[in-house]
Amino acid sequence: LMSPSTYPVLLCSQNRPTQRQKKVLSLFHFGLRRGGVLCLGLSESIGALSAEFGAIEESLRIYRKQRDAKLVTESFKPILMDRVNRQPIPTLTPSQPPTRGRLDVYDRLLGQHMPPSILVSSSHELLHTFTGASRFLRPRDGRASTNVLDLMLPELRTPLLAALRQVESTGDSASIAATLSDGPTDEEAAKSITLTVEKVPMSDSEGYLIRFGESPAVENNNKPRQMLGVNNEQFEALQQELHRTREELHNSVEQFQTTNEELQSANEELTSSNEELQSTNEELHSVNEELYTVNGEHERKIDELTELTADMDNLLNSTNIHTVFLDRGLSLRRFTPGVADIFSFIPHDIGRQFAHFSYNLKTKSLLTDLKEVLRTGKPFEREVRDTQNRWYLLRILPYYARDTIDGVVLTLIDITSLKDAQLLLRELSDVVKQSDDAILRIDNDGTIRTWNRGAARLYGYKADEAIGKPANMLAADDAKDDPPGYLNNLGEGVRIDHVETRQKTKSGAILVVELTVSPLLDDSRDCVGASVVARDVSKQKQAEQEIRRAVEQRDRFLAMLSHELRNPLAAIVNATRLLGEMDLDEKTEREARDVADSQLKHIARLLDDLLDVARITNDKMTLHLEVVDMKKSLMDAIECTQHRLDSKRQKLFVESVDEHVCVKGDVGRLQQAQVNLLVNASKYSPEGSSIHCSLEVEDSEAIITVRDQGEGIPEPLATRIFEPFVQADETLDRSQGGMGLGLPLVSMIARAHGGSVALTPGIDQGSAFCIRLPLTNETTATEQQRRNHTALAGKRVLLVEDHDGIRNMLARSLELKGIEVAAASDGIRGLSLYHEFKPNISVIDIGLPDMSGYEVAQAIRECETERTTLVAVTGYGTSEDVQKTREAGFDLHLLKPIDPVVLLERLAETETAEAITET
């Protein structure tokens, strides 16, 4: 900080700020740090820089700097020696430096022709003294100062200050007369001094030239003022200041009077309140007398209540019902002795909150149940158990007082013996009811007495449909003779274990059932019936058949695999032996290598098919889903199999719809399924035949159909043709190779994509395989990118990124899509480009070196005239980070590293949404 005497002072007109005033305030703005304080005089104003300074106290002209920004102002003009026909001092070039003699000549000329003058800076710092002007200066004691006002004679200080303010205010020169009571020396007489101040342009700022004109002092009417060193203008200024001071004093007196009146009103209100308190005191005396009367009545009621309480205690203690009384706040009001062990009550606990007590009941919602009964008034009942496995019937009843609920009553009744009996009965009943096996009781005459859930599930009859009916209604038509014989021998108490028989259900289905019959004896050991347990073993029998079939299929597969691998391996062995022979010609060697290569590829295809079947069967196949154009996929599959068709001179006829047919799936797997169908059709069709392939759309499904002219598939085999290792020709010496995995792979791939495959079999008429796949409304990636490029073509994008590599590569990628790009490496340059470039979209990195991306976005939102799409790019992607970018004004939030394709997709979505909104 500078000392008060060296503060820069700015004098300017409040109504018309000059360019110099703006320049000085710009310098102050540059010199202050952000948040710094600027203090001006009462006659000063901020002028055009009001947006850069916030007012702390407007009346005292105290302001605070708002932000760091470069302000553009005109530079200072170079210093001129004088305005009146003076030639500027010639500038010497570095090659001709001024000699000492020339400088002496300049000094002598200035001493002869220059009047007494001094040159000061804009901050009133002394720069140069001309022709004896130093006699009007007088150094002061203490710390040295170069301020001309500190060095000037006291009689000239005030006039000089007035002249300087006038020049700073108007920009024109000013002259003020002053009188020196004594000369600079005691021998000199009093003189009248005329101070002339004019503004002098300098190289980097402006200064002032102060000239001293001397003349004898003249007596006039202003002598008293001149003797004080104050001229008329200064005197008028002092009078105006005195007038303002008087007005402020008058306002202060009026404020004091208003405050005095408010205090008088408050005093009157306090007096009124005192009188009201006295009246209230008299009323309290009257109420006290009434309380004495009421107290007597209460003593009589207390005696009656004491007798009633004693009767109540005797009644509760004589019952075996544990009871607890709680008030509306669920505080303990009363309890019986038997309940004390359960809740650990003691007599001193009366009045305590029930929630503060622990209890040994196995229930966690007791407090919630109490509150619910208190709220609704509905009784609550539940069976609960304590830690000693004793059962209680818990009842919670509302406690009514004057027709309102004033609390609750909790009772516990010991029902342990009853629960033990019920538990035993329930366990026995649950064993029968919950059993998955059919368990039923039959009388000696064969009538059904009981029917459990397993029997209802097994036979399809409900309990009311079976009870009372003869048990032989369950026997199959061909088993009416009752092979187990248990119905004819029930009265003899014969036990039958694990006997299989055929029975029928309500729907007529025939089941293979395993029966276990146990006799039921009464207390006299007489047989009164039988318990029959029936277990369905149809699935078990079917599984055994499936296992036998799987074993047979495994043996067939191993034989088939051995057959399929033996031929290529034999060819490979022969080719390898041939390559080991000496003196082979080039043709024979090439043929041997081709044989080995083709057979190895054949083995690789077999292994790939086996692996695919294993993956799909074990649900380990991974689908890379995308939008697939089935029209293009079909053409690719045809291209893959064209060489096979050409080798057998087969013709392929293709029919397809004109528009795109898009499904959601794995492009590789879908092409594999189509290739398998085409290869299968070529494989089982004779040479020179025709194969038809079509692509249609029906009921939101894509339908691919491949029809051949082969021998066809018999009807019995058509149901198993999509099973692994199943072929129409299953003999080991069949003419066509393969392991029967092509069609199973087609079926598995279709099901994995939510579709299906079907076969139209026929003998000597060929076969038609049809794949159905669900359509999707989405477009392919290529089509979507084309739409994105079309939507953003011609847009202007501002890219603010401090990393050179990322910025340059992303800018180039966008330019290749027809987008005009302007790039900046920091926030300040980005804001400058924003005003020049006027982009439609701004992609801004949050972590910039000079200012954050949030500040750049806020600055753009404050000054934009048209809505700009702002995209935040950051390495943080939590919900808090996304919310922060939204609050800063961003429209999109993208994570680093930026994928140009993803950026274009998001921008295209945003542009489309804005277009829809505007429409």
Task: Summarize pLDDT for 793-832 with one digit per residue, the tens.
Answer: 668 888 888 888 778 878 887 887 778 888 998 988 888 8
Which sign, positive or negative, has the C-alpha torsion 24, 30, 34, 36? Answer: negative
Question: What's the maximum distance between 2 C-alpha atoms anywhere in the chain?
Answer: 166
Question: Can you give 773-841 as a three-state secondary structure string?
Answer: EEECCCCCHHHHHHHHHHHHCCCEEEEECCCHHHHHHHHHHHHHCCCEEEEECCHHHHHHHHHHHCCCE
The tens digit of pLDDT for each residue in 637-654 reads 787 778 778 888 888 888
In 3D, which of 248, 233, 254 has the Cα closest to residue 59?
248
pLDDT band at 397 (very low <50, low <70, confident <90, very high): very high
- Phi/psi at 473 (5° precision): -70, -15
Half-sphere exposure of 893 (CA within 13 A, CB side): 16
Distant-in-sequence, close-in-space partners of 351: CB < 8 Å, separation ≥ 6:
331, 332
- Phi/psi at 319 (5° precision): -90, 165
Asked if the peptide bond before residue 897 counts as cis, ω within 30 degrees of 0, the response is yes
Q: For the residues 47-67, what does the mean pLDDT come to?
A: 80
The tens digit of pLDDT for each residue in 86-120 reads 444 444 444 445 556 777 787 778 777 788 999 99
Mean pLDDT of the chain: 76
Radius of gyration of the chain (CA): 56
pLDDT band at 12 (very low <50, low <70, confident <90, very high): very low
Residues 683 and 609 sit within 8 Å (Cβ to Cβ):
no
259, containing H or E segment: helix 232-318
* Greatest mean pLDDT among 198-202, 477-481, 611-615: 198-202
What does the pLDDT read at residue 363? 84
pLDDT band at 761 (very low <50, low <70, confident <90, very high): low
What does the pLDDT read at residue 379? 92
- Phi/psi at 765 (5° precision): -125, 5
How many degrees, rounded to 5, is the angle at CA 397 between CA 394 and CA 400?
Answer: 160
In 3D, which of 727, 687, 681, 737 has the Cα closest to residue 704?
681
Question: Can you give 720-757 as a three-state secondary structure string?
Answer: CCCCCCCCCCCCCCCCCCCCCCHHHHHHHHHHHCCCEE
Sole residue written with tokens 């009201």: 276
3-state secondary structure at position 42: coil
3-state secondary structure at position 300: helix
- For the CA atoms of 356, 358, 364, 367, the dihedral, rounded to the nearest 10 degrees, stands at -40
Pairing assessment for the beta strands 892-895 and 869-874 based on DSSP bridges: parallel
Pairing assessment for the beta strands 869-874 and 841-845 based on DSSP bridges: parallel
- Residue 137 CB neighbours (<10 A): 16
More confident residue, 18 or 693: 693
Q: Tell me how far apart the alpha carbons of residues 258 and 504 are, in angstroms, rounded to a whole number.
A: 110
The tens digit of pLDDT for each residue in 67-85 reads 776 665 554 444 333 443 4
Burial class (CB in 10 A: 0-12, 13-18, 19+), 517: buried
